Amino acid sequence: MNHDFLPEAEAEYLDAIRFYEDRQLGLGAVFIVEFENSLRLALDRPQAWRLVHDSGVRRIGLSHFPYAIFYRVIVGSLQITAVAHHRKKPGYWLSRLIT
């Protein structure tokens, strides 16, 4: 299965990498590895993670960073709808969904 980002989700992902890299050299790379590990789990078993919206959006958390990947499966591809920090307002990404 392939994956793609909504533009806003990709911007969140890149912002998180920059944030952690600015805090400590190499920490952005650690974030990338953890993100990719969680994404791989979602790609391998997309239906295994918690359903959080009727549109089919599911959530998988990162283990060592306060972030979650929100995604849904559309036509055999995993669409990343948000890369959300745990302190962001819940559901802020709902306006991104086109049903």
Domain boundaries, the chain: 2-89
Predicted pLDDT of residue 99: 53
Per-residue pLDDT band at 47 (split at 50, 70, 90): very high
The C-alpha angle with vertex 41 and arms to 76 and 29, in degrees rounded to 5, equals 115
- How many C-beta atoms surround the C-beta of residue 35 within 10 A? 19
Angle between helices 27-44 and 7-23 (to 10 degrees): 140
C-alpha closest to that of 83 among 17, 33, 2, 23 = 17
- What are the tens digits of pLDDT across the range 33-43? 999 999 999 99
Q: Model's pTM, two decimal places?
A: 0.93
CATH topology of domain 2-89: YaeB-like fold (3.30.2310)
Predicted pLDDT of residue 90: 85
Continuous H helices in the chain: 7-23, 27-44
What's at 21, amino acid-wise?
Answer: E
pLDDT-above-90 percentage for the chain? 85
